[in-house]
């Protein structure tokens, strides 16, 4: 159903063109059972005049016998389409409705509230841009409300509207509304819901749904639900940076055409762009971008297109086309958050099918690290996962796949688990940013409860007075070849000559000793920096200035290192030499080996390097001499009073 438009009668082609170009918003309603999800959507459609007259008449007739409003019009029946749903007055399956306004098009997913059907809710939420979480004003925040909120957060839905429903049954109490709002904020704080809005409504009576309820709730000065849906900004939600194109089908209609069909999972592609095929790492260029309506110069997420390549290279279903300078992880193991959807519990070590993008491989859930209590968001030990339970697991595959962390890329960071015998989907998973098995991920580990911290008899003030300096850790980060080690040792010489007590922690030296057991996966790099941060903290506690030279490509890991050392004595200096300059300085052939695929997960080539967002100092080492860089770091230390120089 669509809004009324004069163009329908005067120029149908113009109307269809206008309608085609509208932005599409997918949203869902969720929350506990009987919170009014179906009623809200039904009332929204009725109030916005988006229901056909015969549908309206049918619902009015059914309301007398099947409705839950005492014989009066029950808008929930517009959504509860199954016979069992109407008999029980609940939602069982996900129900979809389509409508539009003058501004945009909508797809609504009405999801079930019963705990038994949480898996259906997760399915409906998987493709949504926005979530409406309903709360019954009489009952407040319930367990299922928390479970659905947690799943909304896990699925990376950025825009959340918490609608406190049935305000008419609590006398439109502002105090009750604010109490529920504060309770939800306290619970959802760790979930990281950045775009969170609250709205008091009465779905049955249409208050604050399409029209403002100024008479009933004059104390609320916010907008209506329809206004929020029409004006939520979603254009920047999609990942347009990382080009990922999972191949779904190889189209070979005749000898002169071979096209690779699929849907762009993220990013964009232009005709003539160089692409790489994973896992073979063969390179070619895009010859054409073919659609039913003709060829395009550019395509972007989430378009379904057919790509042809200039070279005859092997590309099959399940392969992925990416940019050579921006490739995803390639590994046979990763950590993921898993929502279990089957009646039969998860069996660690059992072989399942894992379907990620268009690729299906066999594998197992090798380890259940912990289960997450949705009431408190705390972790707890558990041998397995049951129906609707959520946990963090390690997935072990029988062959490598290409993937990204779910937070960065929903398309390549999600997967489902399929039972090999019944072919039933038993779980949905979201790959965590720390991906390569997480074998060495100990950032969040807690020390044994029997261990107690011991205090030195020498205070920090006494050390500062003895050495004439305040301790600090200076992290020098940048691409390989940016000059980190060169600057670190030059800075150490300068500080030592001025009588300071200092030392250098060099990433390569750490790997020759305390981190010799680590490789160069994402998680191994993370663990190397974690161990080094602990060493730097000990040096700072001893009153020393620590100069740490590490590639440290992840912003998240750098922030964690700052937490270990202490943010007040942790300085980040970014050596910003571009990758082209770093390549010319490479005397060990690392970049060349990475280009050929001999070195995996190499930042700047086959893995990303995330530049610090709030570096204390940026040094373009391709433009400045070493001496100038040393002086600028010394000036930073003076400004931060880290050393009396």
pLDDT of 236-274, one tens digit each?
A: 778 888 999 999 999 998 888 999 999 999 999 999 999
In this prediction, residue 645 has a pLDDT band, given cuts at 50, 70 and 90, of: very low
Both 252 and 227 in one domain: the answer is no
Angle at alpha carbon of residue 300, lines to 296 and 301, rounded to 5°: 140
For residue 446, the model assigns a pLDDT of 61
More confident residue, 303 or 100: 303
Q: Is the pLDDT of residue 378 over 60?
A: yes
- Of 231, 264, 281, at which residue does a domain stop? 231
Q: What CATH number is associated with residue 308?
A: 2.40.30.10
For residue 440, the model assigns a pLDDT of 47
Both 311 and 208 in one domain: the answer is no
The answer as to whether 281 is a domain residue is: yes
Distance CA 486, CA 14 (A): 65
The answer as to whether 272 is a domain residue is: yes
Is there a contact between 25 and 230 (Cβ–Cβ < 8 Å)? no
The answer as to whether 541 is a domain residue is: yes
For residue 144, the model assigns a pLDDT of 81
Number of H helices and E strands in the chain, helices first, is 18, 28
Nearest CA-CA partner of 412 in 625, 309, 267, 271:
267
Question: 111: alpha, beta or left, given left = phi > 0 and alpha = psi -120 to 50?
Answer: beta
Both 516 and 601 in one domain: the answer is yes
Distance CA 444, CA 560 (A): 10
Both 301 and 357 in one domain: the answer is no
By percentage, how much of the chain surpasses pLDDT 70?
Answer: 83
Is there a contact between 348 and 384 (Cβ–Cβ < 8 Å)? yes
Strand partners of residue 329: 403
The answer as to whether 270 is a domain residue is: yes
Q: Is the pLDDT of residue 411 over 50?
A: yes
In this prediction, residue 490 has a pLDDT band, given cuts at 50, 70 and 90, of: very high
Three-state DSSP state, 511: helix
Q: Which residues of 357-385 are buried (b: 16+ CB within 10 A; e: fewer)?
A: bbbebebbbebbeebbebeeeeeeebeeb
Residue 351 DSSP symbol: E
User: Cis before residue 478, ω within 30 degrees of 0?
Assistant: no
Instruction: Determine the structural domain holding residue 514 and report its residue range.
Output: 460-639
The answer as to whether 525 is a domain residue is: yes
Average pLDDT of the residues in 556-579: 91
- Of 307, 322, 337, at which residue does a domain stop? 322
Q: Is the pLDDT of residue 173 over 90?
A: yes
Average pLDDT of the residues in 217-234: 90
Both 98 and 225 in one domain: the answer is yes
Distance CA 368, CA 416 (A): 16
Q: Is the pLDDT of residue 535 over 90?
A: yes
The answer as to whether 185 is a domain residue is: yes
Both 19 and 37 in one domain: the answer is yes
Cα distance between the two ends of the chain: 73
The answer as to whether 237 is a domain residue is: no
Both 421 and 283 in one domain: the answer is no
Both 293 and 413 in one domain: the answer is no
For residue 86, the model assigns a pLDDT of 39
Distance CA 64, CA 528 (A): 68
The answer as to whether 280 is a domain residue is: yes
Both 42 and 158 in one domain: the answer is yes
- Of 303, 322, 341, at which residue does a domain stop? 322
Both 508 and 393 in one domain: the answer is no
Domain count, the chain: 4
Both 473 and 363 in one domain: the answer is no
Cα distances (angstroms) measured from residue 591 to each of 59, 581, 598:
67, 11, 10
How far from the centroid of its chain's Cα atoms is residue 534's Cα?
Answer: 28
Both 421 and 301 in one domain: the answer is no
Is there a contact between 166 and 176 (Cβ–Cβ < 8 Å)? no
């Amino acid at each position: 159903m669509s809004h009324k438009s004069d163009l329908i009668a005067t120029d149908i082609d113009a109307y269809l063109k206008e309608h085609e170009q509208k932005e599409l918003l997918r949203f869902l309603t969720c929350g506990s059972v009987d919170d009014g999800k179906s009623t809200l959507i039904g009332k929204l459609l009725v109030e916005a005049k988006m229901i056909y007259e015969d549908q309206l008449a049918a619902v009015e007739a059914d309301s007398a016998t099947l409705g839950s409003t005492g014989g009066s019009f029950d808008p929930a029946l517009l959504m509860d389409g199954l016979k069992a749903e109407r008999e029980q007055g609940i939602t069982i399956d996900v129900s979809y409705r389509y409508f539009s306004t003058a501004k945009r098009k909508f797809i609504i997913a009405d999801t079930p509230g019963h705990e038994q059907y949480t898996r259906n809710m997760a399915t409906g939420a998987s493709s949504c841009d926005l979530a409406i979480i309903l709360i019954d004003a009489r009952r407040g925040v319930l367990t299922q409300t928390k479970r659905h909120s947690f799943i909304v957060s896990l699925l990376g839905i950025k825009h959340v509207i918490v609608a406190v429903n049935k305000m008419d049954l609590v006398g439109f109490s502002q105090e009750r509304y604010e109490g529920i709002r504060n309770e939800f904020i306290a619970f959802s704080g760790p979930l990281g819901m950045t775009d969170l809005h609250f709205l008091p409504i009465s779905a049955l009576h249409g208050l604050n749904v399409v029209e403002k309820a100024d008479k009933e709730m004059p104390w609320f000065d916010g907008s209506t639900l329809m206004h929020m849906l029409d004006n939520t900004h979603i254009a920047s939600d999609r990942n347009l940076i990382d080009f990922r194109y999972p191949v779904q089908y190889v189209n070979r209609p005749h000898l002169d055409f071979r096209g690779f069909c699929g849907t762009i999972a993220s990013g964009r592609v232009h005709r003539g762009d160089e692409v790489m095929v994973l896992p073979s790492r063969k390179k070619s260029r895009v010859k054409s971008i073919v659609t039913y309506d003709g060829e395009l110069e550019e395509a972007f997420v989430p378009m379904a297109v057919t790509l042809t390549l200039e070279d005859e290279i092997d590309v099959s279903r399940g392969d992925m086309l990416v940019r050579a300078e921006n490739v995803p992880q390639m590994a046979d193991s990763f950590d993921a958050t898993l929502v279990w959807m089957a009646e039969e519990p998860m069996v660690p070590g059992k072989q399942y099918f894992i379907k990620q993008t268009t690729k299906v491989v066999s594998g197992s859930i090798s380890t259940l690290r912990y289960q997450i209590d949705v009431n408190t968001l705390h972790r707890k030990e558990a041998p397995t996962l049951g129906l609707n339970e959520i946990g963090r697991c390690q997935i072990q595959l029988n062959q490598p796949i290409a993937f990204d962390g779910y937070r960065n890329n929903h398309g390549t960071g999600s997967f489902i688990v399929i039972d090999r015998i019944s072919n039933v989907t038993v779980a949905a998973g979201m790959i965590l940013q720390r991906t390569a098995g997480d074998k060495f991920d100990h950032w969040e580990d807690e020390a044994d409860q029997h261990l107690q911290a011991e205090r030195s008899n020498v205070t920090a003030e006494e050390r500062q007075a003895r050495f004439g300096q305040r301790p600090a850790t200076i992290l020098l980060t940048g691409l390989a070849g940016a000059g980190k080690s060169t600057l670190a040792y030059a800075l150490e010489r300068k500080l030592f000559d001025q009588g300071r007590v200092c030392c250098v922690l060099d990433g390569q030296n750490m790997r020759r000793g305390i981190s010799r057991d680590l490789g160069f996966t994402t998680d191994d790099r993370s663990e190397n920096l974690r161990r080094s941060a602990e060493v730097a903290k000990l040096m700072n506690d001893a009153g020393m200035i620590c100069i740490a030279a590490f590639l440290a490509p992840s912003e998240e890991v750098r922030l964690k290192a700052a937490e270990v050392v202490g943010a007040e004595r942790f300085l980040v200096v970014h050596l910003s030499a571009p990758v082209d300059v770093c390549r010319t300085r490479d005397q060990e052939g690392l970049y060349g080996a990475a280009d050929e695929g001999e070195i995996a997960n190499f930042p700047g080539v086959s893995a990303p390097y995330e530049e610090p967002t709030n570096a204390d100092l940026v040094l373009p080492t391709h433009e400045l001499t070493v001496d100038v860089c040393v002086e600028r770091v010394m000036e930073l230390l003076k400004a931060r009073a880290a050393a009396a120089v």
